[in-house]
Structure 1
Amino acid sequence: MTTGLPYTAATLYPSPSEASLKLQFLGKQIKDVQAPAAIIDAAVVRRNCKLMLDTAEKLGCSFRAHVKTHKTKELSELQVGKDSKSVRLVGSTLSEVEHLAPWLYECKSQGKEVSVLYGLPLSPSAVPRLAAIARVLGEGTVGIFADHPTHIKILDEVDEKTWPGKIPVFFNVDVGYHREGVAHDSKQLADVAYALKASRRATLTGVYTHFGSSYGVSSPEEALKAMTEELQGLEQGAIEFLKCTGANISGDANAPKVVLSLGASPTATAIQNLLEGGEEFKQYRAVIEKCQKSFEVEFHAGVYPVMDMQQLATRARPQHAAANPEQSLLSFKDLGMRILTEVASVYPERGEVLVASGGIVFGREPCKSYPGWGVVTPWPAKEGQVYDPETSKTGWIIARISQEHGNLTWEGPRDNYRELQVGEKLLVWPNHACIASTSFGWFLVVDSDKSDPERIEDVWTRWRGW
């Protein structure tokens, strides 16, 4: 597949040879890999992706997967499901959209519905690259975000040969997070709506919001309340926007419904609670069902396939299913990405251990549940003393970070103290998987459903560039 551009992210930021990577890593044990390395457990990822897709289907909602966390074709395929007839994605960089394009072209040739969004409000410099992808994938496949009249003006200046057909637009609504988007009562909302109504190129497909404030929740109930507030705020913004355009919002069965696209992983994960069937959840299902009468409700999320310490801290789901205590819902067992690091030195007098992984590996995003940058897993043992922010608060954590250095401290009583030695390798659950994976060119993939969960079964290359 060619894009017709003199350059793309794939040419400017070439990926390493998959054949070379597999020759280097396949069949090795985790313990034999040089650290630092990013390890993904395919079994955990498959479960998390399937649960999200099953939930959306049972609730009668759509789902749009964000690819920014992993930036790989392999995990994108798991996010949309092998047998899905609808492929809905969003990327945060042009590189992600460009790298997705060859696979999306295959999906189109198989008769699947394809929709990919560039996940920032449109900038003029992005138009040539997005238009090239749209020329290949066809009309209506590549959508953009808009929350300013200038965004619509940019599209109206694009000729049909450059970007064929009508261009799908998702209007950004701000429901209180104040990242991108405008509030339902903003004059800017009306200005965008009037510009869109007069546009000859742009067509409203949906309204979109990201509720990053949901990361502050601490229980399923709080997460569901956040989801409800997000959906109601998005609906209000959509109604005000559509009033300005003169569009029909009566729920005409013959007209395509405008999409209400909401989510962050905590609120998207929270809807999984609605399948439990408890009376306390009926009010939240009722809000979704009310919106579905006039709109198409679509959830979106990104980090949910691998989860991380931040997601664990939200407790958007219980740790275990009430009906089946053996079924993990949101616990350490559901964290699908770990960072392999190595002990570089030990300082008994100050009670610290140094690992050769710092801010450029783990990032600098804190987690509200504990004062650290990562939690050391019991690996290579299956069980052991692990720092749990909700219970024991005892174990090794990454307490301080510099650029390449991480300082571990043992928190809590020393009854089950784990002695660490220079050269010992550790696996760490990071605070934020999206940030922790950015410095890695590939993921080493294991599969805990197989007989040897330590064996590297695959290598997934990550897309680079902007």
Structure 2
Amino acid sequence: MKDEYPNQQDSTTVTHAMASSTTAPLLYPSPSEAALQLQFVGKKISDVQAPAALIDLAVVKRNCRLMLETTTKLGVAFRAHVKTHKTTQLAKLQVGEDSQSVKLVASTVSEIENLLPWLLECKAEGKEVNVLYGIPVTPSAVPRLSAVARALGESSVGLFVDHPTHIKTLDNDAPDWPGQIPVWMNVDIGYHREGVAAHSAQLADVAYALTASTRTRLAGLYTHMGHSYSVGSPTEALEHMAHELQGLEEGAVEFLKIAGAHESKDANAQKVILSLGATPTATSTQNLLEDTEGARKYRAMIDQINQSFAVELHAGVYPVMDMQQLATRARPAQSPSNPTQSLLSFSDLGLRMLVEVASLYPDRGDKPEALIAAGSIVLGREPCKSYPGWAVVSPWPQASGPHYDPEGSQTGWIVGRISQEHGVLMWEGPTKHLRLLEIGEKLLVWPNHACIAGVNVGWFLVVDSDTADPERIVDVWVRWRGW
């Protein structure tokens, strides 16, 4: 695979090379985006066969813009995770059109390979490009990642490590990697997914291995605080963020006691980066723009740590949000300083799944039920702590109106049970205001977890609620596939 990608900033040439090699675009070919646009653009939502996934462009633009504005004002960097949507179009929105720094993290090699043509365009425009492979690196992934690194150039691709074997693998099995390989130490702050604790023997073993390595260099330390999904208020979310940042700093200090001198191998080395986040803790920092005592305290903490390290936030699901994020209440529903600005409400959920009513059961059990032709392979099977269901039926086709709100009326249709292809709608609350359904009626539902709900769709149909016709499909974004 040595000559898999040419080492130049020509996306057309690279795309052609990818098509003739063992890479994701070849192994998992995508449908023609142009053909899909001919098929769907201009149609109404109600004309589309269900199930389908819809993204509201206006909502995701607002969510992306707010995240970038926040990190800029706080003086920290931002790294966008692309695993939720797996599209180049949304990755561009996450980074920002005018940004000179393109920092990304991906969960599969496929995502990185599919990003490559655009990343080469960014390099040709003089932008800084840095993408992380977000799983502790496995030997079988190294050849394909090496090819991407050669195409993008030195220091453009970073790898996660949390075991000394990772360092030895890179020393021995990545001979074609350009320059030293930037590695990121995974630190465990209590989520117990990847990473090791600050004072563990394993962290010290990795530091010793890095010190002895000639092929790798320390670029940063990274943590993901997935258990922040359990929070229920802005205050609680900020407390988790502070714990995450302090725990990551503690891990960095312990690691650098052993491996600190290693960074001097790169004459142009910058501060070691501390990258923290999950969407609840990352979006909670948007509360720090308010002039409150708590906001000032946390801003001062970030500023202090930023003097020794380079603080970076990362997040993935925030552009589209979902019922799980709504349940965290990591931000208030509206901005305290600008009540007309929505921060975390149903109007900030940018992904909806189009489903169709397949049958009706008005007298089954103690509450009305209906069947939709969309179960776990469409909606996922991840619960939400705020209500007993798998998705909430929106008011659509009405622009707004009554619907089930876990913190409000608790009255409306929810997806209460799911099988593989079957979803059972259940009416919650008093039946005197029952929304009657008909077989063949299309509905739009808000899923629990956007990262999972979109997995089995090949593309997103894009609408724009800021236009005169929010029902009209304006674009189609093809999702990447594979590993």
Q: Give TM-score scaled by structure 2 length.
A: 0.94
Deviation string for 1:155-200 (max 9, x for gaps)? Answer: 101354x211111100000000000000001000000001001111
- Tell me how far apart the structure 2 counterparts of residues 247 and 394 of structure 1 sit (CA, whole Å): 60
Matched residue SS, 1:204 = strand
% identity of equivalent residues? 68
Code of the aligned partner of 1:458: D
Match of 1:41 in 2: 56
Query: For the residues of structure 2 that align with 1:59 and 1:71, how far apart are their CA atoms?
Result: 28
2:383 is the alignment partner of 1:366: yes
| Alignment partner of 1:291 out of 305, 319, 323 | 305
The letter for the 2-side match of 1:464 is R
How has the CA–CA distance of structure 1 residues 33 and 72 changed in structure 2, closer, same or farther, with 3 Å as cutoff?
same
Residue in 1 aligned with 2:398? 381
Q: In structure 2, what is the equivalent of residue 391 of structure 1?
A: 408
The reply on whether 1:76 has 2:91 as its aligned counterpart is yes
* AA aligned opposite 2:288: L
Alignment of 1:54-453 (within 5 A): 54-160=69-175, 162-247=176-261, 256-350=270-364, 351-453=368-470
**How much does 1:383 deviate?**
2.1
**Aligned match of 1:13:** 28
- Contact residue 20 and residue 26 of structure 2 kept, 8 A: no
C-alpha distance after superposition, 1:314-342 (max 9, x if no partner): 00000011222221110000000000000
Q: Deviations over 1:112-158 (max 9, x none)?
A: 00000000001000000000001110010011000000000011013
Give how far 1:255 is off.
Answer: 5.5
Check whether the contact 1:430–1:436 (CA below 8 A) recurs between aligned residues. yes
| C-alpha contact (below 8 Å) 2:333/2:342 kept by paired residues | yes
Deviation at 1:414, TM superposition (A): 2.2
CA–CA distance in 2 between the matches of 1:57 and 1:437?
A: 30
Unaligned runs of 5+ in 2: 1-13
Letter in 2 for 1:8: T
- 1:26–1:62 CA distance, 2 compared to 1 (3 A): same
Work out whether residues 33 and 476 of structure 2, in 8 Å CA contact, stay in contact via their aligned partners in 1: yes
SS in 1 for 2:173: coil
**Could you say what secondary structure the match of 2:477 adopts?**
strand
Partner amino acid, structure 1, of 2:461: L
**Offset at residue 410 of structure 1 (A):** 0.7
CA contact (8 A) 2:146 2:174 kept: no
Q: Tell me the CA shift for residue 247 of structure 1.
A: 3.3
Q: Distance in 2 between matches of 1:106 and 1:32?
A: 36
Give the superposition deviation at 1:80.
0.2
Residues 385, 417 of structure 1: 8 Å contact kept: no
Instruction: Tell me which amino acid in the other structure corresponds to 2:54.
Output: I
Deviations 1:280-317 (A, max 9, x none): 22211122111101000000000000000000000000
Q: Is the 8 A contact 1:385 1:416 kept in 2?
A: no
Distance 2:209 2:325 in 1: 39
Kindly report which structure 2 residues correspond to 1:446-465, keeping only aligned pairs within 5 A, or say none.
Answer: 446-465=463-482
**What RMSD, in angstroms, separates the aligned Cα atoms of the two structures?**
1.4
In structure 2, the residue corresponding to 1:157 is in which secondary structure?
helix
Q: Secondary structure at the match of 1:330?
A: coil
SS in structure 2 at match of 1:293: helix
SS of residue in 2 equivalent to 1:349: coil
* Letter matched to residue 17 of structure 1: S
Q: Decide whether the 8 Å contact of 1:40 with 1:337 is kept in 2.
A: yes
Q: 2:195 & 2:324 partners in 1: Cα distance?
A: 24
CA distance in 2, matches of 1:301, 1:383: 29
2: distance between equivalents of 1:11 and 1:135? 19
CA distance in 2, matches of 1:367, 1:36: 21
SS in 1 for 2:308: coil
User: How many Å separate the matches in 1 of 2:18 and 2:398?
Assistant: 49
Q: Distance in 2 between matches of 1:389 and 1:299?
A: 29
Query: Per-residue deviation at 1:5?
Result: 7.7
Q: 1:391 & 1:50 partners in 2: Cα distance?
A: 28
2: CA distance, partners of 1:151 / 1:292: 28
State whether residues 218 and 262 of structure 2, in contact with CA within 8 Å, keep that contact through their aligned partners in structure 1.
no
CA drift of 1:4 comes to 10
TM-score in terms of structure 1 length: 0.97
CA contact (8 A) 2:225 2:244 kept: yes
Q: State the AA in 1 paired with 2:244.
A: E
Q: Tell me how far 1:3 sits from its aligned partner.
A: 5.4
SS of aligned partner of 1:455: coil
- Separation in 2 of the partners of 1:324 and 1:418? 34
Q: Kindly tell me: are residues 383 and 416 of structure 1, through their superposed partners in 2, closer, same or farther at Cα, counting changes over 3 Å? A: farther
In the alignment, is the contact (CA less than 8 A) between 1:352 and 1:407 conserved in 2?
Answer: yes
Partner of 2:6: none
Aligned residues: 462
